[in-house]
A and B are shown apart, each in its own frame.
Chain A
Amino acid sequence: MIRGISRRTLLKSGAAATVFAPALVRRAAAAGDPILVGSMYDLSGGLEASGKPMYDVLNFAVSEMNDAGGLLGREVKVVSFDTQTNMQLYAQYAQEAALKNKVAVVHGGITSASREVIRPVLDKYKTLYFYDMPYEGGVCDRNIFIDGLTPAHNTQILAEYGLKTWGKKVYTLAADYNYGQITSDWVKKYVKDGGGEVLGTEFFPLDATNFGSTISKIQAAKPDWIMTILVGGGPISFYRQFNAAGLSGKIPIASTTFSGANEQLVLTPEESNGVVVAYNYLQTLDNPTNKDFLKRFHAKYGADYPPISDLTMASYQGMLLWAAGVKKAGGIDREKVIEALESGITIDAPSGAVTLDPQTHHCTFDVHLARMQDKQPVLIETFPQRKPADTAAVCDLKKNPREAKQYIIKVN
């Protein structure tokens, strides 16, 4: 707080030097200094298995940009912060990136909890923020751009597919923090809209490993199918214990999260076959841009690199979106870049066309429904150019540019 007050007093005093000095510094930087990009991923401390590949694809995007002559003729340099799965460090590093390194943009944050830590900090210090992750939807803030899936993109598709294919009675297992809680409310809404019923919803911490009683309760409730919104290393045991009880294939599973952290790699095919997922990106997508991306990426990081999941790809595509905005703006001035990004920018990404929606700062893109088979997602159907309808229903940044909050769905 003290820092804030002293800064304000300085500004109020109106000393000419304080107004002109930053302008001078900025002009000097434009002469060819590198453009700094802050990256904040958990590279240790629990979520590193998710954070490491995100960090790799972000750096891959930057290295390709630099090989092609940089962005607007300037080198792009990644300033990396290892947030160690620690919320305190997120707050600290966000400040450091904005004030000390003065980065042009911050990419990162994995859990929704961490995003809500960084978002107000970067708002306050007027530093552009890209959150490149699927999440529960509803963030309405002019300073943030989000290229991940929200419930209207994939949860709705999964719910409708389940209701149509398997039946009307659903049982939900969800992660016990804002992502799981809010997404499970969306499941309730979509299932109810489709004339179905959610028989039960259970929440699990990220390290829960004992699902015996849950599996018995599911059997007693007799649902037609199960929706899993589980996150973390522990809950992988659900699929294992579910199969050990001989239920795999008997009660089908749809999931908003499965394979996002390559869960299928530590499970046997029998334990993961048949789980239905819906993502913007699947490594198995058959299009030239994706094939070319995989060829270049594997040439640099090795052919045995673990499968690129949707969560990972979002970091790559987020970087491309931001770069397209900078190119269009002709500089890294935050206001100009936001305006450029709000002009309806589209990139040709490995997942198909990705377009930024000016009204919500979320994305419109293809969503692919797939079934896990022998540790690979096999495409069932493509839903072209899905809009972020959940957030669009409550958020209009063109009309209310000063908004900076997260809307949360109410289900009765």
Chain B
Amino acid sequence: MRCSHTVTVMLLSLLIVPALTAGNAADDFTNQLISSQEIAEAGLFRLSDLFMLVDNWDGMTIDGFSWGYSVNGLSPEMSSRWIVMIDGQRMDVASFDLKSINTLPISISSVDSIRIISTPQIHEGEFSDGGLIHFYTRPAKPGLSLQGKYGVGNETGEPGPYRYTEYYSPNVDRIGADEEACIAWSRENYSIGGGWVYQDHYLTDPAMRDRCHSINNYLNPKMESLSYHSQTSVDVSGSRHNLFMGCTDFSSMQFLKTYGREIPMEDYLLHIGLNGFIPLSDFLNIRYRTKYSRKEIDKRDNTYDIYFNWIAESYYGNVEAIYSGGNTSGKAGAGLHRTIADGAELSGSQTIDKVSIYGEIERRITPNLNSTLGAYITVMDGESALKSALSNLLIIREHNKILVNLAFAQQLPGETWSDLYWADKGFLFPGIAPDVYSLSGELDKSSYFSSDLTWKREILDNARFSVGLSYRYFMDYPLEAFSVGYDTTYMTFPIQEIAMKGTDGQVLTETFSVSHDIRSRFRQRLSFRYNIYVEGDDIFEEQWNSMPQYRLSYTAAVTIAEGCSIWGKAVYLPARDYYGYGEIETLSSGLYSGRLDDLLLVDLSFQKYLWKSRLWFNLGFRNIFDEDTHLHPIGASQELTFFIQLRATFDSILN
């Protein structure tokens, strides 16, 4: 029954796609663009908070700082595959299975806009297998610009004066304070700027306090991130070149499944990237992207002397020719990504090359049909993978459009950069004896077919709806089979074995949203998404069902006066059983549970600009109903929390 449903969807997709082509004209149709106004209005505190504004993603976090995302059902949240970019340069934020966009060397207030790509396509020389987040930084204004921000959050649930009574409870520390400062100088054909960002995050939630405290030499456990960045842009004879340099020193204490607990580490990221475009004629442009990045995981003192020593240096070069003329445009490019990994845990330095060749053609077949076809070939570790995407935008009327996106993508094990990939390369996790723990299974090339059908229509002048149907068919998808125990002495979650399995599975997602805008003074949006597991292997089913089966959200924003608004969002997620943690409720005598309760999360934000928009003040409230907000069985639950942010921006001084 379910299979026939799936086949119907596939056939429907093919019927609606009469021609084999697709296009970037569909970009704004399928991609979500989040503006700086929306970021400010919602009072986003850190980069990872952008998740609050995206309705087709599922997220999980253990510590509240690092997040895993399932982007539009393209991967389970526990094996995130998204790519992150800043101004056209891919950032290497991954450390094994850990990815934290908060370690990027920019802050949320230096972001001008964010492009969220939730369907497979070629973007800036990359193929977005598992989604893509692209941050565009604030362009420098003419003259001298200065910006500074201070923000702090305070989670409720502290002992207060009851500390000195029989009602004593442990302390729950604040979030932040986060600080940042930027300076920029711009003239007609060049700009130069730089800044720093400091973030502070305590791990004092009751769910993690004791195990973090015990490994942190019994000191108050916290993570700190200090970043610097500089950016130089030059325009020469119609060409534009952008040099972005950034580094982050992240005193991390993130949960590593391999250890079943948080491990203190020093995590360094250095990124030097140069990209730009050179116009060759009215029809032909050249884009180029180069970068050097260095990812280092180093020693941070801890009780059990678990010290990482790991360095991965990456060199990347990409050239792309872009043709545009008449009804047809296209691009073709090639890139080489070389990674040299070294460290005490590896038997010797290892060089891994990834070569990419790709092309894309976009054609306006009729005034009402726009199509784009892209193909992307990756060669790595002696294997090749083909990725392709085809999208067709059918314009019925100006405000009545249908888009069909079809993709088939293979993925090589090295592209995931996972713990298991490096274990396969000979990496030994420090402090773990091979007889205590083992990794097994084969890492093979995986593939998937995806189909996204979206219909958007304006109902009235100020209202529109969107209906979508997405189908995913994963083949040999690598998932980790494991079961978590509980050690009462160390309050950790040991795993005896992680076995890699190539699994097959099919899922279907239905979405519906309606937006309403009354003269830009009052905006509201209702969104509903329903995930249907169709069929597949047992592990695939269990891991897929760890994500919420549906998600209902409502967002409203009221503009009280110019520069003054109230924003609110309510999200409801149903209860679910989380894969691998089924036994911990019994083992921990009810302290933890593998079942995540249903959740109603309501956030509010009030913003006011002062002094002709030079000052920005935001008061934000998260989880105002004080719900249990666990998004992972052993993760923190953020109780009612309030944030205060103050930002000062002085543009065009000395202009």
Q: Do A and B bind each other?
A: no
Interface residues of B (CB under 8 A from A): none
Interface residues of A (CB under 8 A from B): none
